[in-house]
Structure 1
């Protein structure tokens, strides 16, 4: 909101330094703080120190720019003949900060991968994220409340729930963000754009709480359910947001070691049902879901069942490093009766169902982690240019520039690798992706989460005590440092994925080179 049209000279502002009339200037806008002195969170003495003065440097040394929007009613005018120098971004705007955006979004850089539809989708998703998702994310992360049905309905109506699963026939004919992209032309670069844009609120618990279970679980239904009418019913319920679905594979006994699952499914004597017994742990969205895509042991092999919440199904929340908004659950199946028609894929061949979506799941996590890292780099660049220490900006210190150089290099190199892998996904049929990309995607995710470790560490050093504080200027730094490890564990631990990548490479090692 623009300040009032009234103007003042700097001399006029300097005359307002008393308890009865205390003014200051921040970036050419004049603020009357008289009634705010007692309510100022930092105490009245801080405001009295800048009474009648230009407090721009002092303000930005302590606060984020968006703080001003909360106190717009204190603005009474502007300094005569002066204009603001600090940019107030509008919904959908690109950041002008160097390296705050991928190179394909910056002036003077070209990319062979991204077309006009990718730019249109980027803008549309960013506006939707800033106006609809971010306010919800901030509140849910702080309170632990699960995502509201209202926001889920808005995402469904905008086609966002559909696009979260990546390219496919489920997108054909879907109106996505008022025609930003057609479902028939939606490719993995559109998927990359949507994924990275939706991570921008930087609330990691809510990010997983925002239907992540559907993203990694519904594909099993779409690809492996045998009865077309039943599959359509489940898909429609979930895409409409009326029902929630999650993937329930991990157990206390088996994480990355999927073959070690102990949950059992035994057929009834009449062969019409399975009786499921066992537990699942760390299941994202499990607390509030209606459907569970469950890995079970049928005899000596694995199968996958869709289980509906009902008698014998109990979910309990698990406290983790991020917000309860994720709905992380411990699930107990106690003699749960499941129709045999709910089998996904073939009995005793469930490992193929489980593995089928790992590439996309890991790729999505790589996209999200890298987007968060880029956001942290932007925060560090902005802070380094505004924070004054020992009479100089942080950016004027060589040691800080070296840290920033390391962070930028990690983000840009991994983004380039991510785009290369994405290009292969766009040009390989699914069978070839499963054969050739599991290893490279595993190595990519490992590289990105290792980069997150370095960036989290360096960012806290740059921000100091603020990087350890859950509110205020450094809140995103603290949050990232506390939650970045989720991407290093979920979807396959770094060590497992690194080993997978090397084993796949060695499998094709030419004997002639021995």
Structure 2
């Protein structure tokens, strides 16, 4: 059999290799087939070329919007009421919008990352995945009615704008200000946002701003118009990986934003941002784990054929050792991701935020470390070819450049590791206190 008929080891998660799994039902399996067919046709076959050209053609976003393949990057459960009001009752594969769960979401994220590159898929999904949810979760009805119809149908584009030149993972230190005008009808926004994915194409942004004093209690979120709006200047940034995702530097100079564009309540921005991060980090973890598969399976296939010292590289014990070490980390991470998304289908949003908030940060951080191991394994086994930007080793070279794009955005790795433990300690103390309180009543 050829490799086209028999998957290279590590190329697919176990359930797609026909092994039993308790997590996937018939709806999930139909969904996976529909995702693979659509994404293969409209994204994967051109992903590498678009990454070389550093942009994805504008019509591709339209194809994904028309095919209802942007909606699945939203957090589960989907905004069923809004989707049905827009005439969207069913997704490809016959998946009803009300049955879409976090396992469907993980399948989608896994399939979108099958090129190994996060730029082409990120150019389509980042705005919808992270910019729209704050409006859905926390916006009042009037705000939703103004923006959701066009955003959910892909007629307009948005992004999430949190990070600043001096405030990345340190969200509480955001400096962009939003001060009410004398007439009280506008927020006047001044500041800069940096490393904003999709910003250059976005009509709007769900933006973190400082409406009050220092610290987290002074933060709010606004829907800020971007493209072509007075006082807004945007330019593309050259970055190491995710090149085609439209990473943007945004300058805001006395930008007048109607007070009606406030998302939720003033001063609650930090809470909204942190809640939004959970979805972002899990989405990153799913995609990064698939990227690790791409890197490791490419290396596996290469060393089966490449000869040195009179034998294939696979016949060298040190090569097998590298593959085994990386493969064990990869499959362990995927098993964790699968159990994680299953837990998300069984917990309420409030329960998941408490029980899984810290672990979300941890699985995101671990996904970056696993990707690093698999990408490093690939580039070393490809040798000189893996150090070359063209030819048979191009995928390894590009995968290695993708690693920092997982370890830094969405909360840098060291911050995530610390956050995870602090959250676990907090939960432990709260549960211990509750048990002691119960015991005192007996």
Q: Does the CA-based 8 Å contact 1:307-1:338 persist in structure 2? A: yes
Counterpart of 2:48?
138
2:180 aligns to what? 267
* Contact 2:313-2:319 at 8 Å conserved across structures: yes
Q: Is the 8 A contact 2:32 2:108 kept in 1?
A: yes
Following TM superposition, by how much is the alpha carbon of 1:271 offset from its aligned partner in structure 2, in angstroms?
1.3
Alignment of 1:471-486 (within 5 A): 471-486=390-405
Flag the structure with larger Rg: 1
What are the superposed Cα offsets for residues 305-325 of structure 1, whole Å, 9 maximum, x if unpaired?
Answer: 001121001101111102542
Q: Does 1:330 align with 2:249?
A: yes
Q: TM-score, normalised by structure 2?
A: 0.91
Q: CA deviation at 1:456?
A: 1.7
1:436-447 matches, within 5 Å, as 436-447=355-366
1:209 aligned to 112, 117, 123, which one?
A: 123
> Which residue pairs with 2:23 in the alignment?
113
Cα deviation for residue 391 of structure 1 reads 1.7
Give the CA RMSD over aligned residues: 1.7
Residues 270-309 of structure 1, C-alpha deviations (whole Å, 9 max, x = no match): 2111111111111111111110111111121011100112
Cα distance in 1, alignment partners of residues 313 and 254 from structure 2: 62
Q: In the alignment, is the contact (CA less than 8 A) between 1:175 and 1:182 conserved in 2?
A: yes
Matched, 1:348 2:259: no
Offset of residue 88 of structure 1: 4.1
SS in 1 for 2:265: coil
The aligned residue for residue 99 of structure 1 is 10
In structure 1, the residue matched to 2:72 is 163
**Deviation by residue 1:75-123 (Cα, 9 ceiling, x = unmatched):** xxxxxxxxxx53546xxxxx5222221111223x211111111111111
Query: How far 1:395 moved relative to its partner?
Result: 1.1
Higher relative contact order (CA 8 A, sep 6+): 2
Q: Which residue of 2 aligns with 1:407?
A: 326
The alpha carbon displacement at 1:232 in A equals: 3.1
Contact 1:292 1:306 in 2 (8 A): yes
CA contact 2:43–2:121 (8 Å) conserved in 1: no
1:251 paired residue among 145, 161, 164:
164
Alignment of 1:32-431 (within 5 A): 86-88=2-4, 96-107=7-18, 109-145=19-55, 147-171=56-80, 173=84, 174=88, 178-228=92-142, 230-300=143-213, 301-309=218-226, 310-322=229-241, 324-431=243-350
Structure 1 residues 397, 274: closer, same or farther in 2, change over 3 A? Answer: same
Measured in 2, the distance between the counterparts of 1:324 and 1:113 equals: 34
SS at match of 2:95: coil
Partner SS for 1:120: helix
Q: SS of the counterpart of 2:239?
A: coil
| Distance (Å, rounded) in 2 between the aligned partners of 1:175 and 1:406 | 45
TM-score (norm 1): 0.79
Q: What is the alpha-carbon distance in structure 1 between the residues aligned to residue 16 and residue 269 of structure 2?
A: 41
Task: Give the Cα–Cα distance (whole angstroms) in 2 for the partners of residues 165 and 189 of structure 1.
Answer: 13
Structure that is richer in helix per residue: 2
Are the equivalent residues in 2 in contact too, given 1:220–1:357 (CA < 8 A)? Answer: yes
Instruction: Work out the CA distance in 2 between the residues paired with 1:388 and 1:188.
Output: 44
Q: Secondary structure of 2:391's partner?
A: coil
1:499 aligns with 2:418: yes
Segments of structure 1 that go 5 or more residues without pairing to the other structure are: 1-84, 90-94
Query: How big is the shift at 1:180?
Result: 3.6
Contact 2:117 2:402 in 1 (8 A): no
User: What are the ranges of 5 or more consecutive residues in structure 2 without an aligned counterpart?
Assistant: 434-442
Q: Do the aligned residues in 2 keep the contact of 1:293 with 1:306 (CA within 8 Å)?
A: yes
